[in-house]
Structure 1
Amino acid sequence: MRTFGHPATRKLALAGAVAAAGLLLAACGTDDSASSGAHHGETTTSASPSRSATTAGSAAPGAFNDADVTFAQLMIPHHQQALEMAGLADGRAEDTELKKLAVGIEKAQGPEIEKMKAWLKSWGRPESAGHNGHGMAGMMSEQDMKALAAAKGKAFDRKFTELMIAHHEGAVEMAEAERKNGRDETAKKLAHDVVRTQSAEVAQLRKILDRL
């Protein structure tokens, strides 16, 4: 019993160890495969523009297209000029209603600029694509801005009103194009707000102009 039992015990132990090693290797292979698949899925997801934007917590998490990008890139400098024009009203404007409207423009368009900058960042696009404002709907020339800055009182009120009507109409035109051609729902929502708000302000500005 002592002569045959020891080798048999060793063989059984060896067989058990081999089997255990085989199971361990199989388990590791399964884990590696699952892990590889998971990593691949994450890479694919993060490469998606819509999911990438969502992860970044941006205001525009949806799928986007070139029209959305162009809208933001053009509307940012357009809004910035509106803020510059509105800022000139302080100390120059005489009409009370016009002063309030200028403050309202600053309060509305400042945050909108920040939203659009956040979109472009989440989309991986630059804030500017080389647009300098020339040829953009409703943009004032350098001469227009200098003339506005040089005016005061009723002369300023009339010039500001005329220029801002044209400026707003240009913004509405660009926003309408975004509503028609854009893909990102948040960008299209802002475009809708621009059309609604600035169309109402154009109507208000026309009434102001009529009584100046």
Structure 2
Amino acid sequence: MRWLTVLFSLVGAMVVLGACGAEPAPTTVSPPAAQPPATTTPTMPSTTGGLSPTDAAYAQLAIPQAESALPLLDAVRARSGDPALAELAARAGVGHRGELTRLHGVLTRAGLSYLGEHEGHDMPGMITRDEFQAADRLTGAEFDAEARVLLRKHFEESAAVARAELGAGADAELLALTRDIEESRGDYLSKLSIR
């Protein structure tokens, strides 16, 4: 889970810098000695549109995470010999596409662009092109077994990332979407376990 914290921090910093035109923050000048310094409560810096750096980082990660699963979900829906697995893949594919629309909508509302910096990375929760191609070469029960392994890892890790956002995020719309994502992953995992 430590990698999530580091990732959110790095992407959040990049989003804040990008929103500010990558200019360094101005230095704060101390007030004159005659005036006591003002006391402020530290707050999480925000990006435009109400997204905190954590919110923005989560959206930037959740998009490629969901996109990476689509080729396998589509292949399982079309090729699986297990009707229950094919049905699960069909439902998850529709769900992931809906999540992607909503995630892009959150970024658009905040005036942020999708950076695509995690696409193709071998990160937990992402099904890489190599993993998909290796699974796609299999047939029958072997294909179904490998698809289950990859989908389980994807569902578990995307749920973990969603829980991290739920614990540290701030944007109400994104948090509602994130709750939906976490709940759907739990549902998918429960159905993946039934044979």
TM-score by length of 1: 0.65
Q: Distance in 2 between matches of 1:182 and 1:196?
A: 17
Q: Aligned residues: percent identity?
A: 25
Amino acid in structure 1 at the alignment position of 2:146? K
Give the deviation of 1:152 after TM superposition. 1.9
Q: Which has the higher helix share?
A: 1
For the residue of structure 2 that corresponds to 1:89, the secondary structure is: helix
Give the corresponding residue for 2:185: 198
Give the corresponding residue for 1:173: 160
Q: Distance in 2 between matches of 1:204 and 1:91?
A: 18
Question: Is 2:124 the partner of 1:111?
Answer: no
Determine which of 116, 130, 142 is the counterpart of 2:117.
Answer: 130
Give the deviation of 1:185 after TM superposition. 0.9
Determine which of 93, 112, 135 is the counterpart of 1:148.
Answer: 135
Larger radius of gyration: 1
Q: Distance in 2 between matches of 1:128 and 1:171?
A: 19
Give the deviation of 1:67 after TM superposition. 1.0
* 8 A Cα contact 2:54 2:169, kept in partner: yes
Q: Distance in 2 between matches of 1:133 and 1:173?
A: 20
Question: Is 2:76 the partner of 1:89?
Answer: yes
Equivalent pairs counted in the alignment come to 149
Q: Which consecutive segments of 4 or more residues in structure 1 shift more than 3 A?
A: none
Q: Distance in 1 between matches of 2:77 and 2:184?
A: 22
Q: Distance in 2 between matches of 1:144 and 1:129?
A: 20
Q: Residues 199, 193 of structure 1: CA spacing in aligned structure 2 closer, same or farther, 3 A cutoff?
A: same
Q: Deviations over 1:138-166 (max 9, x none)?
A: 21233211111112221111111111000
* 8 A Cα contact 1:165 1:206, kept in partner: no
Give the corresponding residue for 1:26: none
Q: Residues 207, 89 of structure 1: CA spacing in aligned structure 2 closer, same or farther, 3 A cutoff?
A: same
Give the corresponding residue for 2:56: 69
* 8 A Cα contact 2:69 2:127, kept in partner: no
Alignment gaps of 5+ in structure 1: 1-47, 51-62
Alignment gaps of 5+ in structure 2: 1-46
Q: Distance in 1 between matches of 2:59 and 2:166?
A: 12
Give the corresponding residue for 1:121: 108
TM-score by length of 2: 0.71
